[in-house]
């Protein structure tokens, strides 16, 4: 029983010992005893903890020997990948793959295009290939998470420490998994997902072995540039920002592009510098002004809307993640039970009933 995972997963959720203890129905002292290994919770109590943390119960029972070889992880900061987090992602990816097999779904990933040295021209070329893979040319990507999932990529949205944007994992058997911090602003989630996709395409060999330290900076430049170029292609930057060549780009213009292309104001400034619209000095100055004015956030944060059901009517437009859609399809086809759906999605049965009803009422299909 991996009771030592409780602390890591609790902190990942941003909960205090008192808050988690209250959800489970025990005192902070009791929870602290469990986390320290001084006491062992019962299976029933551990089940309550799993529900409160929205993680599969199996995470607390899997042994390292059973889980560690399953996925190969890559993160900008490997220290952020605790054993508990690895175990959680492995379990979620395994569930995901099981549901895919139930429905005959095939996971996909663009072909390996290894790129170790930062070459802007090559990155721009590769960004166009990725947009072709995603089914767009110069049109806005819209909901980037949904578009990646529409191409059968596994995206896991989960709370992570604020300093961690996300990470990815890969293996031949389970395919690619992109993990994104869902407590970050939506525009940052989009950038992170594409950043990790860049690593999966350009640096796939890194998932089997740790690259040399001196190459880390090159890889990050490639992944960052690639994410920005997929979000905002060169052609769009030149068309939209040509009138502001070598001039200060108004905040209103940055906001307009943000709302239309789901790209942060900061990323737009970086793309303007990469395409030669503004100088590196001006880019730095405008980024500095944004930081001074807004800190690490930005105005008019993007939203991903989810539905609610009130009196049998859908109150909001529904956006289900791919895994959730596949799970509901499996329930509708009687491949799995609703209790199994709750286990796979890590949600209470009440939530499963409500969201499945909303999915049925909306007539949504994967």
**pLDDT tens column, 60-79:** 876 554 444 357 787 777 77
DSSP reduced 3-state for 229: helix
Please give the average per-residue pLDDT across 124-136, as a whole number: 93
pLDDT band, very low/low/confident/very high, at 319 (cuts 50, 70, 90): low
Q: Which neighbouring-strand residues pair with 171? A: 175
| Number of residues assigned to the chain | 366
pLDDT band, very low/low/confident/very high, at 212 (cuts 50, 70, 90): low
DSSP reduced 3-state for 290: helix
Q: Rounded to whole angstroms, how far apart are CA atoms 241 and 249?
A: 8
Q: Which neighbouring-strand residues pair with 94? A: none
For residue 267, how far is the Cα from the chain centroid? 18
pLDDT band, very low/low/confident/very high, at 241 (cuts 50, 70, 90): very high
Q: Which neighbouring-strand residues pair with 170? A: 72, 176
Which DSSP letter does residue 169 get?
E
Alpha helix stretches (DSSP H) within 79-209: 83-103, 120-133, 144-150, 186-202
Alpha helix stretches (DSSP H) within the chain: 5-12, 17-24, 28-36, 43-53, 64-67, 83-103, 120-133, 144-150, 186-202, 216-231, 234-241, 251-261, 265-274, 280-294, 322-332, 338-345, 349-362
> Angle at the Cα of 12 (from 8 to 18), degrees rounded to 5?
75
Q: Are 97 and 186 in contact (CB under 8 A)?
A: no
**pLDDT tens column, 136-174:** 878 899 899 989 998 889 999 988 888 889 999 888 777
Q: Rounded to whole angstroms, how far apart are CA atoms 167 and 155?
A: 11
Q: Rounded to whole angstroms, how far apart are CA atoms 174 and 107?
A: 8
- Assessment of whether the complete model's pTM goes beyond 0.85: no
Q: Rounded to whole angstroms, how far apart are CA atoms 364 and 236?
A: 32
CATH of 1-54, one of 1.10.260.40, 3.90.470.10, 3.30.2270.10, 3.40.50.12500: 1.10.260.40
Cα dihedral sign for 30, 34, 40, 46?
positive
Parse the chain into domains and list their residue ranges. 1-54, 234-294, 309-362
Q: Are 3 and 35 in contact (CB under 8 A)?
A: yes
DSSP reduced 3-state for 156: strand
Identify which has the larger pLDDT, 271 or 150. 271
The set of residues, in sequence order, having a beta carbon less than 8 Å from that of 35 and lying 6+ positions away, is 3, 4, 6, 7, 10, 17
């Amino acid at each position: 029983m991996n009771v030592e995972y409780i602390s890591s997963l609790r902190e990942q959720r941003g909960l205090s010992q008192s808050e988690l203890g209250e959800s489970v129905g025990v005192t902070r002292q009791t929870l602290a005893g469990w986390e320290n290994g001084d006491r062992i919770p019962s299976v029933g109590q551990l089940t309550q903890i799993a529900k409160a943390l929205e993680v599969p119960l199996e995470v607390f029972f899997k042994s390292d020997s059973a889980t560690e070889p399953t996925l190969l992880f890559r993160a900008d900061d490997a220290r952020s990948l605790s054993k508990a987090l690895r175990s959680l992602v492995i379990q979620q990816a395994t569930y995901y793959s099981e549901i895919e097999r139930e429905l005959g779904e095939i996971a996909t990933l663009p072909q390996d295009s290894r790129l170790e040295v930062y070459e802007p021209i090559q990155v721009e070329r590769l960004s166009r290939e990725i947009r072709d893979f995603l089914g767009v040319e110069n049109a806005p990507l819209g909901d980037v998470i949904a578009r990646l999932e529409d191409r059968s990529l596994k995206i896991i949205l989960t709370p992570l420490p604020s300093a961690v944007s996300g990470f990815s994992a890969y293996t031949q058997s389970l395919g690619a998994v992109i993990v994104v911090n869902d407590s970050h602003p939506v525009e940052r989630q989009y950038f992170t997902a594409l950043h990790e996709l860049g690593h999966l395409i350009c640096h796939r060999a890194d998932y089997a072995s740790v690259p040399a330290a001196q190459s880390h900076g090159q890889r990050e430049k490639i992944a960052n540039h690639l994410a920005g170029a997929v979000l905002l292609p060169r052609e769009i930057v030149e068309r939209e920002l040509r009138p502001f060549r070598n001039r200060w780009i108004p905040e209103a213009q940055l906001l307009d592009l943000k709302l239309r292309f789901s790209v942060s104001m900061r990323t737009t400034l970086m793309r303007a510098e990469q395409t030669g619209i503004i100088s590196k000095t001006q880019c730095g100055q405008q980024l500095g002004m944004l930081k001074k004015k807004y800190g690490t956030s930005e105005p008019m944060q993007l939203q991903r809307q989810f539905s609610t059901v009130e009196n049998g009517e859908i109150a909001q437009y529904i956006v289900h993640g791919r895994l959730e859609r596949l799970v509901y399809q499996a329930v509708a086809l009687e491949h799995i039970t609703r209790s199994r759906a709750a286990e796979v999605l890590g949600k209470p049965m009440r939530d499963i009933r409500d969201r499945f009803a909303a999915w049925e009422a909306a007539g949504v299909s994967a």
